[in-house]
Amino acid sequence: MMPFILLSHLLFLPASSIISRQRVKRKVKEEMEASVPVVDFQKLSEEEELKKLREACEKCGCFRIINHPIPKTLMTEMKSVVKYVHDLPLEIKMRNKSIIPDSGYVPPFPTSPLYEGMGIYDMNESPQALEEFFSQLDLPTYHRQIVKKYGQAIHDLASTVSQKMAKSLGVVGVDFKDWPFILRTIKYSFTQENMGEMGAQLHSDTGFITLLQDDEAVSGLELLDDSGLFKAVPPKSGSFLCIIGDVGHVWSNGKFWNIRHRVICKEIGTRYSFGAFMLAPRDGNVEAPTKLVELDNGRRYRPFNYEDLRKFRISTGKRKGEVLDQYRIA
């Protein structure tokens, strides 16, 4: 009876009222979505775009990169490989060992049953790490070629984006290409029973940046904004999402924002996200460059070792950037 009453009620509403209701509905949807700044990679040599990049890093802690050099075909091929490796039997996936904590296979745990991750640590510097990954998973030749090509391409893109971010603060000459990164793939299995459950708990990323090829079809990623509200990240086909991490925050002397984010099950399906997790300088020493410290008239964080940051998070379970409190200079 109820639906009939509502429908008949609607039928007698004046057209203007129906239109305004639709507008309100659209508005609510807009308000729930994060407005993620878009940065055009091709324009990053221009002052204007560099300014936009800096603003995005400082105000939002994330941005989308468009017009980048990674071909759409390679992005699609890599997604197929990611699906393939995650569909392998558990005992094979378990062979993907961690080189640093959590860099290899992370199975679904009772505390995070929807999440599963795999990764290759420092493939750029260590061709052996890549070969081990291939042979551990017994990957077919074609898949190996894709992973190699994609890994190199995303590492190049992540280092160039990092250089541009540094340049936007007036810092040049940092060799981000030398910084270790994890090529990481994540699978979330979302079913009807999981609606509203966490795929990944609220956290900040540990490294300088994460350059993510997030799922175009299955939603779930949310950012925590200044006012304490969670906003959904709308997908953008062919782009990469850049998320600034704890190292990015400290390295920029507190300027770049290490945005907190989470993944939540909102629809049925399998969500895949993967990309480059650019970590910290190779010697592990995390500190703001002298030039920035001089410009800011002071250092905001004591230098520390990246490994200590990772250990703290694993031993305490605190993953929202709390680790940085102990290094903050009052």
Ligand X SMILES: O=C(O)CCC(=O)C(=O)O
Taking the complex as a whole, how short is the minimal distance between the CB of residue 327 and ligand X, in angstroms? 21
Site string for ligand X, 230-259 (x = CB under 6 A): ------------------------------
Residue 166, C-beta contacts closer than 8 angstroms, at least 6 positions apart: 172, 174, 176, 289
Question: Of all helices (H) and strands (E), which one includes residue 304?
Answer: strand 304-305
Own/partner pairs for 104-113, CB < 8 Å, 24+ apart? 108/189, 112/198, 112/199, 112/200, 112/201
Of 124-132, 209-217, 299-307, 315-323: span binding ligand X (CB under 6 A)? 209-217
Closer by beta carbon to ligand X, 81 or else 212: 212
Whether the CB-CB separation of 305 and 285 falls below 8 Å is answered with yes
Whether the CB-CB separation of 300 and 258 falls below 8 Å is answered with no
Closer by beta carbon to ligand X, 207 or else 289: 207
Closer by beta carbon to ligand X, 137 or else 186: 186
Closest-by-Cβ residue to ligand X is 273
Tokens of 136: 């551990």
For the chain, how many residues are written?
330
Taking the complex as a whole, how short is the minimal distance between the CB of residue 134 and ligand X, in angstroms? 23
Closer by beta carbon to ligand X, 50 or else 233: 233
Q: Using CA atoms, how far apart are residues 7 and 208, in angstroms rounded to an integer?
A: 53
Closer by beta carbon to ligand X, 98 or else 135: 98
Residue 22, C-beta contacts closer than 8 angstroms, at least 6 positions apart: none
Report the residue from 214, 222, 246, 287 that binds ligand X according to the rule CB under 6 A: 214
218 binds ligand X (CB under 6 A): no
Q: Which of residues 271-300 bind ligand X (CB under 6 A)?
A: 273
C-alpha torsion 228→230→235→236, nearest 10: -20
Taking the complex as a whole, how short is the minimal distance between the CB of residue 128 and ligand X, in angstroms? 25
263 binds ligand X (CB under 6 A): yes
Whether the CB-CB separation of 275 and 211 falls below 8 Å is answered with yes
Report the residue from 52, 93, 261, 266 that binds ligand X according to the rule CB under 6 A: 261
Assign 3-class secondary structure to 234-287. Answer: CCCCCCEEEEECHHHHHHCCCCCCCCCEEEECCCCEEEEEEEEEECCCCCCEEC
Taking the complex as a whole, how short is the minimal distance between the CB of residue 142 and ligand X, in angstroms? 26
Of 130-138, 158-166, 207-215, 299-307: span binding ligand X (CB under 6 A)? 207-215
Whether the CB-CB separation of 222 and 252 falls below 8 Å is answered with no
Closer by beta carbon to ligand X, 179 or else 190: 190
206 binds ligand X (CB under 6 A): no
Closer by beta carbon to ligand X, 271 or else 300: 271
Report the residue from 218, 221, 250, 279 that binds ligand X according to the rule CB under 6 A: 221
Whether the CB-CB separation of 7 and 18 falls below 8 Å is answered with no
Closer by beta carbon to ligand X, 44 or else 106: 106
Query: What backbone torsions phi and psi does residue 290 show, to the nearest 5 degrees?
Result: -55, -40
Q: How many residues bind ligand X (CB under 6 A)?
A: 10
Of 27-35, 61-69, 164-172, 205-213: span binding ligand X (CB under 6 A)? 205-213
Query: What backbone torsions phi and psi does residue 135 show, to the nearest 5 degrees?
Result: -75, -35
Report the residue from 114, 120, 182, 186 that binds ligand X according to the rule CB under 6 A: 186
Closer by beta carbon to ligand X, 254 or else 275: 275
Residues at the contact surface with ligand X, assessed by CB under 6 A: 186, 200, 205, 210, 212, 214, 221, 261, 263, 273
